[in-house]
Amino acid sequence: MSSYQKELEKYRDIDEDEILKTLSPEELEQLDCELQEMDPENMLLPAGLRQRDQTKKSPTGPLDRDALLQYLEQQALEVKERDDLVPFTGEKKGKPYIQPKREIPAQEQITLEPELEEALAHATDAEMCDIAAILGMYTLMSNKQYYDAICSGEICNTEGISSVVQPDKYKPVPDEPPNPTNIEEILKSVRNNDKELEEVNLNNIQDIPIPMLTELCEAMKTNTYVRSLSLVATRSGDPIANAVADMLRENRSLQSLNIESNFISSTGLMAVLKAVRENATLTELRVDNQRQWPGDAVEMEMATVLEQCPSIVRFGYHFTQQGPRARAAQAMTRNNELRRQQKKR
């Protein structure tokens, strides 16, 4: 029998109930607190279950976060800052470093003609910078100075020789003007089949009501003059995509359709692609940059539509899978070749 087992033998006949009867209420409370199972390192438990409640005071009221932050800030301002062990006086100690002059050995000294010596002695920093660039000393200047001196036939460097790269001056680019298209007039012209209206451009108009876009697609079903329809960045979703799909099944004059940068999901894109198969006049289709990636099934459907629709010669979408991308590229090459042969005839 080991020494540890011998040590445990003397506690075998102890009566726990008798010991508990002799404890005071304070000792029983302390024992109950010690027997609580707590795991302070378990981050999945709330803070109140990771440690014992040692608060003896009763709460004074509900938590006021703003008042607590204000109290902490006030307390931090009232605390006296610790004095520095060595007070700062601003006195400079030691001697400044002076780089020693390097004497050029006699074998490294270069003797130029008096005319060149005089020209270099009176040359400006800009001229020295251009000469260094022409001689290929690109380590003495920034990349911008080097390429400006090489590409330009005149002296354009005014900063002098310096290897410190300086940022180019920012050229502000003005914002694009808002789309001035009057949606109500466009809708009226489409309904009346106006022969002068060949392009409908509603790009970047984000406050178009969904019923108005649906009415536009409904009016496009019978229109015979509009050749291009662009709904880029109009916050269109699946309802508009379904309306566009219904329009493609009946319209026989539209040649270009652009619905990029919208909120169309894979379901809406699939409906448009299925409708394209029933349309023989569409030559350009752009559906890229939607809110979410449509998925592998939609990309495979895109490649299949391009293979089955020889009329489409321009398609706007960035494929993420190699298989559909290769099929689409091959189909577009074939479609453009067929179009070229038709023009020759």
How high is the pLDDT of residue 155? 54
3-state SS class at 200 = strand
User: Cα(273)–Cα(338) distance, rounded to whole angstroms?
Assistant: 21
Cα 326–chain centre separation: 27
pLDDT tens readout for residues 84-135: 788 778 788 888 888 888 787 777 777 777 777 777 777 777 777 777 777 7
Interval 20-46 mean pLDDT: 78
Fold of 187-344: 3.80.10
3-state SS class at 230 = strand
How high is the pLDDT of residue 244? 96
How high is the pLDDT of residue 163? 47
- Spell 290-325 as b/e; 16+ CB within 10 A means b: beeebeeebbebbbbbbeebbebbebebebeeeebb
Residues whose CB falls within 8 Å of the CB of residue 204, separated by 6 or more in sequence, listed in order: 176, 178, 179, 232, 233, 234
Please state the pTM of the whole predicted model: 0.54
Interval 139-156 mean pLDDT: 66
pLDDT tens readout for residues 277-315: 999 999 999 999 998 999 999 999 999 999 999 999 999
Helices (H), the chain: 3-9, 16-21, 25-34, 47-50, 65-78, 114-121, 125-134, 143-151, 183-191, 210-220, 238-250, 266-276, 296-308, 322-344
Burial (CB < 10 A; 0-12, 13-18, 19+), residue 279, is buried
Higher pLDDT, 260 or 92: 260
Are 267 and 296 spatial neighbours (Cβ–Cβ below 8 Å)? no
3-state SS class at 285 = strand
Least confident of 88-92, 274-278, 334-338: 88-92
Domain borders along the chain are 114-152, 187-344
Least confident of 69-78, 138-147, 208-217: 138-147
User: Cα(222)–Cα(252) distance, rounded to whole angstroms?
Assistant: 9
Cα 40–chain centre separation: 39
Are 266 and 296 spatial neighbours (Cβ–Cβ below 8 Å)? no
pLDDT tens readout for residues 198-241: 999 999 998 899 999 999 999 999 999 999 999 999 999 999 99
User: Cα(266)–Cα(297) distance, rounded to whole angstroms?
Assistant: 9
User: Cα(204)–Cα(234) distance, rounded to whole angstroms?
Assistant: 6
How high is the pLDDT of residue 222? 93
